[in-house]
């Protein structure tokens, strides 16, 4: 069964500090991995999309890494800000079909709280 | 710059009542989706529409029906609401190719009492 596991479940850091969120998956065959940010009461917003051949992708202070051999991804947030407080969701899509969601598996998310 | 618009934002239903959640996107996307999100769980796919005129079941379709009214609109219907359907519902759309991102609406918080 395809699964996506995220850790930690929740994390509290001080403003200005860095942090790293983890995503391990068993989805196969692999097509792509996406990280989303979901603010409280809002819909998820895409941060990065990574395919098999991509090891690192950045979006401002967010840097995602992918190791397709070990089936692990991480999301590193640099110089955190209060606005980074949100849930971060890892989504892994299996090969097949021509939509994003027909074979996508969502992680439960990591809740990040940035304190002043 | 609306993106994906869902209505209503909040709804309380009594067990057995029916209702339709509306979703519209203005990005000319081919694919649209309905998810539910429950506390402590990841988003789960209810139904999706790969293109206008087609719909397919997702992971948790029981108790729901959908209609792809046209390219812009994709509605989700609860024929006889049950307390187990209390959840936050998200509509999303994407161009349809596998490596493009999905854009989400702001969600509908539904409570069935």
Query: Is any Cβ of chain B less than 8 angstroms from the Cβ of A16?
Result: no
What pLDDT band is residue A64 in, cutting at 50, 70 and 90? Answer: very high
Tens digits of per-residue pLDDT, B19-53?
Answer: 999 999 999 999 999 999 998 788 999 999 988 88
How far B46 CA sits from the closest chain A CA (Å)?
Answer: 10
Q: How many residues does chain B have?
A: 113
Tens digits of per-residue pLDDT, A69-79?
Answer: 999 999 999 99
What pLDDT band is residue A28 in, cutting at 50, 70 and 90? Answer: confident
pLDDT at residue B111, rounded to an integer: 97
pLDDT at residue B100, rounded to an integer: 75
pLDDT at residue A75, rounded to an integer: 98
Tens digits of per-residue pLDDT, A9-25?
Answer: 999 999 999 999 999 99
Q: Which residues contact A78 (CB under 8 A, 6 or more apart)?
A: A18, A61, A62, A63
pLDDT at residue A52, rounded to an integer: 85
pLDDT at residue B97, rounded to an integer: 60
**C-alpha atoms less than 13 angstroms from C-alpha of A66 in its C-beta half-sphere:** 22
Nearest to B105 among A31, A43, A102 (CB): A43
Nearest CA in chain A to B94: A100
What pLDDT band is residue A98 in, cutting at 50, 70 and 90? Answer: low
Query: Is any Cβ of chain B less than 8 angstroms from the Cβ of A29?
Result: no
Tens digits of per-residue pLDDT, B83-96?
Answer: 999 999 999 999 87
Say whether pLDDT at A43 is over 90.
yes
What pLDDT band is residue A40 in, cutting at 50, 70 and 90? Answer: very high
Least confident of A60-74, A78-92, A94-108: A94-108
Residue by residue, DSSP assigns B18-42 as: -EEEEEEESS--SEEEEEEE-TTS-
For residue B8, whether the previous peptide bond is cis, meaning omega lies within 30 degrees of 0, is yes
Mean pLDDT of chain B: 93
Q: Which residues contact A60 (CB under 8 A, 6 or more apart)?
A: none
Query: Is any Cβ of chain A less than 8 angstroms from the Cβ of B45?
Result: yes
Q: Which residues of A touch B106 (CB under 8 A)?
A: 41-43
Structure tokens at A115: 């304190």
Say whether pLDDT at B2 is over 90.
no
Query: Is any Cβ of chain B less than 8 angstroms from the Cβ of A99?
Result: yes
Query: Is any Cβ of chain A less than 8 angstroms from the Cβ of B53?
Result: no
Q: How many CB atoms lie within 10 A of CB A116?
A: 6
DSSP-H helix ranges across B1-113: none
Say whether pLDDT at A100 is over 70.
no
Q: What is the mean pLDDT of the segment spanning A87-111?
A: 83
Q: Which residues of A touch B56 (CB under 8 A)?
A: 102
B79-92 burial code (b ≥16 CB/10 A, e <16): eebeeebbbbbbbb
């Amino acid at each position: 069964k395809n699964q996506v596991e995220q850790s930690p479940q929740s994390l509290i850091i001080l403003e200005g500090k860095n942090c790293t969120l983890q995503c391990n998956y068993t989805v196969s065959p692999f097509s792509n991995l996406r990280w989303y940010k979901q603010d409280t009461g809002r819909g998820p917003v895409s941060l990065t999309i990574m395919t098999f051949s991509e090891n690192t992708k950045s979006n401002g202070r967010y840097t995602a890494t992918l190791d397709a051999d070990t089936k692990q991804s991480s999301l590193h947030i640099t110089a955190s800000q209060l606005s980074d407080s949100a849930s971060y969701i890892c989504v892994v899509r299996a090969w097949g079909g021509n939509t994003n969601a027909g074979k996508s598996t969502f992680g439960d998310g990591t809740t990040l709280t940035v304190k002043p | 710059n609306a993106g994906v618009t869902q209505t209503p934002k909040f709804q309380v239903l009594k067990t057995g009542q029916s209702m339709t959640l509306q979703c519209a996107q203005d990005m000319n996307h081919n694919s649209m989706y309905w998810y539910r999100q429950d506390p402590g769980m990841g988003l789960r796919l209810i139904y999706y529409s790969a293109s206008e005129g087609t719909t397919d079941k997702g992971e948790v379709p029981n108790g729901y029906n959908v209609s792809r009214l046209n390219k812009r609109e994709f509605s989700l219907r609860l024929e006889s609401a049950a307390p187990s359907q209390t959840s936050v519902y998200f509509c999303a759309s994407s161009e349809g190719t596998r490596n493009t991102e999905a854009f989400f609406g702001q969600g509908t918080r539904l409570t069935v009492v």
